Amino acid sequence: MIVALAGGSGSSKLLEGLYRILRGSLTIIANVGDNYWYHGLYVCPDLDISTYALAGKLDRARGWGLKNDTFHFISQLEELGFESWFKLGDRDLAISVIRTNLLRRGRDLTSITLLIARRLGVKARIHPASNEHAPTILETDEGRMHLQEYWVKRRGQPRVRRVTYGLESAEATKEAVEAIRSAQGVIVCPGNPITSIGPIVAFEGIRTALKSARKVVAVSPIIGQRAFSGPAAKLMQELGVPSTVVGLSGLYRDFVDALLIDPVDEDAGKQVRAVGITPVFERITLGSLEDSVRVARRCLEIMGL
């Protein structure tokens, strides 16, 4: 069994390649820091992005939501003068309705996520990092706000001073911790280290399990000493972390053994090695499924698989 830590659309691209190779031998631990209560519904974007990617239903161009979805629900909210900035699609809405109702009936997020994945024909296991609500909150120059409010409503514009992960009232699931403990290897997908991967590895149970995992390989979300998308780079810089593979290595040094880096970042190899991580050079732009499969294979090779 191979475990992948995933969050966001960057991660989903590698998940597609891993799933192609591993099918039922893949377990995903997905970020829950971006889960958001919206019009009484519990929306879990990273659980859904992972599920839809594996089911072949993700809108790849957007990187979230279901392909061929419509937005009548949102249009109606807008017409009624209610909040409509979070563009939850109509089909996507069905998933959130089911999830919210099952939660209200006492089922936990782990079993609900497995049920939805199974109903969509997914053979891999997808586990939320936690069953509890553990929101990623940003302290900004415009006040405290949830990640979705910062990212989607405010387009990542406020200046960020601090990020917290809601760890006081939440812990990692036993399924997530056990999956890492018994895995042949763990892959950290190319997600934003602050908002996608950070909230997963912040759970003590997960971090401890990662430190004794057989082998942990990460794929950099940063290419060419620049971060993947504008707000992500801005966020890292405002938190005092250079948005480079060297900055990333500093964040991952406790638990990652090897880091896949694009050859354009060859100069950073020495500094990555200096923090105790082995740099592995590989083209990591995941434009096509072939790219995703090639990078996924490389990760497994590094693990000796």
Binding residues for ligand FO1 (CB under 6 A): 7-8, 34, 43, 45-46, 48-49, 64-65, 86-88, 92, 148, 151-152, 196
What DSSP assignment string belongs to 224-249? Answer: TTEESSHHHHHHHHHTT--SSHHHHH
Identity of the residue, 19 or 64, whose beta carbon is nearer to ligand FO1 in the bound complex = 64
Is the dihedral angle over the CA atoms 162, 168, 173, 178 positive or is it negative?
A: positive
Amino acid present at 204: E
Identity of the residue, 19 or 42, whose beta carbon is nearer to ligand FO1 in the bound complex = 42
b/e map of 15-29 (b: 16 or more CB within 10 Å)?
Answer: bbbbbbbbeebbbbb
Residues in the chain: 305
Identity of the residue, 88 or 284, whose beta carbon is nearer to ligand FO1 in the bound complex = 88
Identity of the residue, 39 or 253, whose beta carbon is nearer to ligand FO1 in the bound complex = 39
Contact 197, 189 (CB under 8 A): yes
CB of 104 to ligand FO1, least distance (A): 20
Identity of the residue, 43 or 302, whose beta carbon is nearer to ligand FO1 in the bound complex = 43
Contact 61, 69 (CB under 8 A): no
CB of 42 to ligand FO1, least distance (A): 11
- Could you identify the residue written with the tokens 């406020």? 158
CB of 71 to ligand FO1, least distance (A): 9
CB of 270 to ligand FO1, least distance (A): 32
Identity of the residue, 48 or 238, whose beta carbon is nearer to ligand FO1 in the bound complex = 48
Identity of the residue, 65 or 190, whose beta carbon is nearer to ligand FO1 in the bound complex = 65
Tell me how far apart the alpha carbons of residues 160 and 157 are, in angstroms, rounded to a whole number: 9
CB of 275 to ligand FO1, least distance (A): 26
Tell me how far apart the alpha carbons of residues 26 and 104 are, in angstroms, rounded to a whole number: 29
**Residue 229, φ and ψ in degrees, nearest 5:** -140, 155
Contacts of 246 (CB under 8 A, 6+ apart): 268, 271, 272
Tell me how far apart the alpha carbons of residues 122 and 37 are, in angstroms, rounded to a whole number: 25
CB of 218 to ligand FO1, least distance (A): 17
Token pair recorded at residue 80: 């009624």
Q: How far is CA 289 from CA 103, 238, 293, in A?
A: 34, 33, 6
Contacts of 98 (CB under 8 A, 6+ apart): 112, 116
Contact 147, 34 (CB under 8 A): yes
CB of 185 to ligand FO1, least distance (A): 24
CB of 196 to ligand FO1, least distance (A): 6
Identity of the residue, 236 or 246, whose beta carbon is nearer to ligand FO1 in the bound complex = 236
